[in-house]
Amino acid sequence: MKLAILNQKGGVGKTTVSINLAYGFAKAGKRTLLIDLDPQAHSSVIFCPEIPSSGTVRELFEKRDAELKPLVQPAQVRGDAVPNLWIVPSNIHLAVTAERMISQHYRERRLDKALAPLLAEFDYVLLDCPPNLGVITVNAIYTADKVLIPTTYGRYSLDGIADLFASIKEIRENAEGAYVILRNAYDARNRATNEYIEQQLDSVRSSLLSTMIRKSEAINQAQISGEPVFTFDPKGHGAEDFEALTQEIMRHG
């Protein structure tokens, strides 16, 4: 299964979801590949000892004949390899490459073509997308089996989601069931705001995942420490919620 994790609005926890969901799949014994498509490279920071200057996902978009397999490396946490988890890292230079691709033919199929020979080796491929609808994100939407859209319980958190839905429908030949929405950073104390957001989500209720990720300081501290919440606070609410998310996606696809 290829799962693109994206939202064109920043600050909704997209990379946090990518990191912890990838680790959750691997922890469940699923062979998992995380491809960091974000020039900010936050997923790479978590799972790579150091951000490489070469051998990154950028090569796929710079060279038409580039292969994905040489770019795959074992993911590490605290210097130890994570069983069942691999990563294709990114770096800031990917942003320049994306700008150069705008005039290229078949640019939206580059990632799909590169992934095809490797799909049999992995149970899950996660695509951590940049917070925009540029050419890199279009590649992810084109190849993904499903798009996971994290959103938070903020007043402006849903801005732009309608445009995202429209883009998914435009890029994919069949957009029915193509996306699911994850409610992130839920805080039960904010009753009025929560009720407002839930009302706004009524029109997409059928696409909402049952799992909600509760707001957790441990999740924030885990990223500061450079690791998934599963290893930072394995018995806390954050690990519990991401375990539930992992299981829900594995059950329903």
Query: In terms of residue numbers, what domain contains 220?
Result: 2-252
Q: Which CATH number is 153's domain given?
A: 3.40.50.300
10's tokens: 């920043």
Let me know: does 102 contact 10? Beta carbons within 8 Å.
Answer: no
pLDDT tens per residue across all 253 residues of the chain? 999 999 988 889 999 999 999 999 999 999 999 999 999 999 999 999 888 888 899 999 888 888 999 999 999 999 999 999 999 999 998 988 877 775 565 588 899 999 999 999 999 999 999 999 899 999 999 999 999 999 998 777 777 788 888 889 899 877 777 999 999 999 999 999 899 889 989 989 999 999 999 999 999 999 999 999 999 999 999 999 999 999 999 998 6
| Entry pTM | 0.94
Residue 230: burial class (beta carbons within 10 Å; 0-12, 13-18, 19+):
buried
Domain count, the chain: 1
* pLDDT for the residue numbered 105: 52
Comparing CA positions, the residue from 168, 145, 161, 148 lying closest to residue 242 is 148
* pLDDT for the residue numbered 9: 84
Let me know: does 91 contact 53? Beta carbons within 8 Å.
Answer: yes
Q: Is the dihedral of CA 92, 161, 149, 213 positive or negative?
A: positive
Return the half-sphere exposure (C-beta side, CA atoms, 13 A cut-off) of residue 139: 30
> 32-36 and 80-88 as β-strands: parallel, antiparallel, unpaired?
parallel
* pLDDT for the residue numbered 247: 98
**What 3-state DSSP class applies to 234?**
coil
Comparing CA positions, the residue from 81, 78, 73, 77 lying closest to residue 57 is 73
**Which backbone phi and psi does 127 adopt, to 5 degrees?**
-115, 105
* pLDDT for the residue numbered 106: 56
* pLDDT for the residue numbered 148: 97
What are 181's strand-pairing partners?
149, 208
